[in-house]
Amino acid sequence: MLRWAASPASRCHVQRLTGQRCFSASTKHFAISDHEALSRTRNIGIIAHIDAGKTTTTERMLFYSGQTRRIGDVDDGSTVTDFLPAEKARGITIQSAAVSFSWPPVSPGQAKKTENTSVEKELRRSAISHTINLIDTPGHADFTFEVLRSLRILDGAVCILDGVAGVEAQTEKVWVQANHYRIPRIIFVNKLDRDGAAFHRTIKEIGSRLHVWPALCQIPWWRDGDKKLCGVLDVVGLRALLWNEGSDGKSIEVFSVEQLAEKDAGMAGELKDARVALVELLSEHDDEMVELFLEHDENHLAIPESDLVASLRRCTLQSPQNVAPVFAGASFRNVGVQPLMDAVDELLPSPHERPDPEIRIGALTSTLSTLLSGNLALTNLDSKADAKKKAPSRLAANVGNVHGCALAFKVVNDAKRGVLVYVRVYSGSLAKGAQLFNTSLGITERAPAMLRMFANEAANIDSIDAGQIGVIVGLKHARTGDTLISYPGVNPKNGPPAPLNTLQLRPIAVPPPVFFTSVEPESRSEEKQIKDTLQILLREDPSLNVSIDHESGQTHLAGMGELHLEIARDRLIQDFKAKARIGKIEINYRESVEASGKKYTYNFDKEIGGKPAQASSTASIGPLNTNTISDYTLEHSQEIPLPDNNHLTILHPSLTDEGHALSSDDVSLPAQIDFATLVTSLKSGVMAALARGPSYGFPLYSTHITLYVDPRQQINKDTTPAALSLATREAVSGTIRASAEASTFALMEPVMLVTITINENDLGGVVHDLSSARGGHIISLDGDQQSTPTSPLSEDEQLNVDTKRIYAPPDPFSSGYDGDNLSASENALRHITARVPLREMVGYLKYLRSLTGGRGTFVMQVDQFEKVTGQRLSVITKEMKGDAAY
């Protein structure tokens, strides 16, 4: 696996120094096809709990790949990926940063000299230079959306664990999210140079808390005598790698297992035990490894390294992933990073090894390749109404004109370059200067420039090809989650022919915001700047939300957590120099209707922009009953999920999905309103009405809205999208008011899923505080539960790992805690999972630290919104009135 293998085909040069081997890396580089270039591309992310060493590891990767001349340091704010002022000041990652580099690096002046594929085939995958597009993600729970939008476009990931703390709560959370996207992962146990590092316990926790079998590809090399970390033992290649203490980590000494036995017989024996355990584990999950084991006379040590690598790769790419390769090191001490980069090349997938991306086109759900091959129309549209009989052949012909399809997953407002839109291209290519149609917004924009990003530095490029991550400069409207397609000769107004103009890649789900604060301009002259600046923040971070309290006129900014809003406030005031007063941070409750209301119709007849505009809309409202919502769109209706567990049903019994009349007695949509525009306008009006409830002024939650569309009565030649949206907003607001008069609206509060990590001797006090003073419900203590409450996998899919069967080498200073018995040691870490109202968790960290002597940590996420009743409702409403009076 490791690139320091001294085979004739290796790219490494060997020097013999006093019986030892010291290696310096070079690479083979070949002229390659586009397909081969894609096979040598890795789109990966680094995911972990806060302070596990994600950014520190990334900085070493950049240094060893030759992208930087010095190693950036988090503490002094010199890192490449944490370049925002707030990141440097706080020493944490806030925005996911994208960097591209080659590993192994291409030596200067090394041209693409040969196309000798026979020679290339002799080389190991990690001996050939790969392009790695890496995204360093935040670890703090408040920036979960940054992680989610990164996971959406990744092909693989490196999960970093703190060797002292073990598997922490945020790691579990992100691991579950990666399960949701079926992302292959490898694990790097970091900080093994620290006092208290417990590799053995961490390996056991990988099985018990991440529900995956750890395949130890490396184990720590503890120096005999003082037991300090001096290197790693390569289980796959049966060798030892030694880093000189205090060095920059570029020079590595390599010892065979026989040489290791002369230096440290105990560690040599442990290396052999680890190899046996690795082969046994792979044999349970890979049939080819069983055959290899038998071919080599059941000798675990005789199986070639290349065969072990191939088996590890097969197991890593299985879905669901039951085996995770594990590596060891200490990034801050420059130990173990280069072998980890080799593992990225060797074990993680290329873009064309990933599942076909999901799409939605019109009312159909399918995959992108099915559409582009022309098969979607033939297999799914044949049974449509007579009005659609010609659609299949037309669609099959049009898909051939789609030159590229991409997802915008991040938007950044750069002070020098303007708006940067990060995209992942899934098919074809996006070229500089091309007209790109945004199917989510229904608009066309030109791509004036394209970049490949190196954190806050960039290089100009002419195109972004399939499988690559790049940046488009100058798009004025594209947002996170939008689908962009390149279609030559596209009509700037209407886009590609229907239904291609409705093609959307699987969107990025935005979690509900649970805190809010008021934003008021210091003077009327500042109102426009504040409004424009907030729109910039929203475009960058869709997990922020801006709403207007129509009674008070206040602007409210909502976010995922207190730190999230503090960072947004700092950007608003310090980065954008906005002159505004920011209120205190408050909980963002919800309201929910408890009984169905009557239909309400609103007729809009006013001028918009000096021109007459007319529209009519009819709506009804009721509590959401998921049993009555179909999983698929019924004929003559549209089922649209909305944020905050709301749902919109649009009934159009006289219209086809293209907006045509179903019979000669019906009326089609007018030329200025196509069906997609109709749906977009109606949805916009509904969401505006749901932003404020009738009783407390909070957004509505778990509400079912039904709109009734009749073109004969509601739409005419003077109808505009804006008029439709406004009429719908008033119709929905009207039915909400009518429902409030007939019945009450419940106040809903966010209830958090909280995971707390503490020492054993602090367990009693923390549990008592949660269950009594804070009104929480304890779900589990450590492994009491059989499945993770937030896991997207069913109990049948989620792996239950017997930790007693996991091989893990002993730690040099073992305290007797082996990870199999969670109560074996008084100082063992315990993990409490509970559901607690968010109101009771405000300021909890300070209290937890006082209970645990500063050692306790926790993470939380929204679990659900629950109705507030009884004395608790009285207390909260009094607080609201007091805040209003204040």
CB-based contact 636:655 (threshold 8 Å): yes
649 annotated to bind ligand: no
CA–CA separation, 724 and 737 (whole Å):
20
832 annotated to bind ligand: no
Phi, psi of 589 (to 5 degrees): -70, 180
193 annotated to bind ligand: yes
Give helix 265-285 / helix 305-316 axis angle, nearest 10°.
50
Report DSSP state, residue 128. B
Which segments of 157-286 does DSSP mark as H helices, in order? 169-180, 199-210, 257-263, 265-285
Using DSSP's 3-state secondary structure scheme, residue 425 falls into strand
Which segments of 238-264 does DSSP mark as H helices, in order? 257-263
136 annotated to bind ligand: yes
53 annotated to bind ligand: yes
Report DSSP state, residue 713. H
Query: Hey, what's the torsion of the CAs at 191, 193, 198, 203, to 10 degrees?
Result: 50
The encoded tokens of residue 509 equal 């789900």
CA–CA separation, 166 and 199 (whole Å):
8
CA–CA separation, 480 and 153 (whole Å):
12
601 annotated to bind ligand: no
Which segments of 243-286 does DSSP mark as H helices, in order? 257-263, 265-285
Among 56, 55, 48, residue whose Cα is nearest residue 169: 48
CB-based contact 40:101 (threshold 8 Å): no
Q: Give the Cβ contact number of residue 712 at 10 Å.
A: 11
Q: CA-CA distances (angstroms) from residue 395 to 362, 375, 384, 429?
A: 12, 10, 14, 20
55 annotated to bind ligand: yes
Spell out a b/e string for 626-664, using b for 16 or more CB atoms within 10 Å of the CB, else e: eeeeeeebeebbbebebebbbbbbbbbebbbbbbbbbee
Which residues does residue 421 pair with via DSSP β-bridges, in sequence order?
A: 411, 472
584 annotated to bind ligand: no
Q: β-pairing, 469-473 with 185-190? A: unpaired
192 annotated to bind ligand: yes
Cβ-Cβ contacts under 8 Å for 627 (sequence gap 6 or more): none
139 annotated to bind ligand: yes
Among 6, 26, 5, 42, residue whose Cα is nearest residue 250: 26
50 annotated to bind ligand: yes
Which residues does residue 99 pair with via DSSP β-bridges, in sequence order?
A: 134, 454
44 annotated to bind ligand: no
260 annotated to bind ligand: no
138 annotated to bind ligand: yes
Phi, psi of 159 (to 5 degrees): -95, 120
49 annotated to bind ligand: yes
Return binding residues.
Answer: 48-55, 136-140, 190-193
Return binding residues for GTP.
Answer: 48-55, 136-140, 190-193
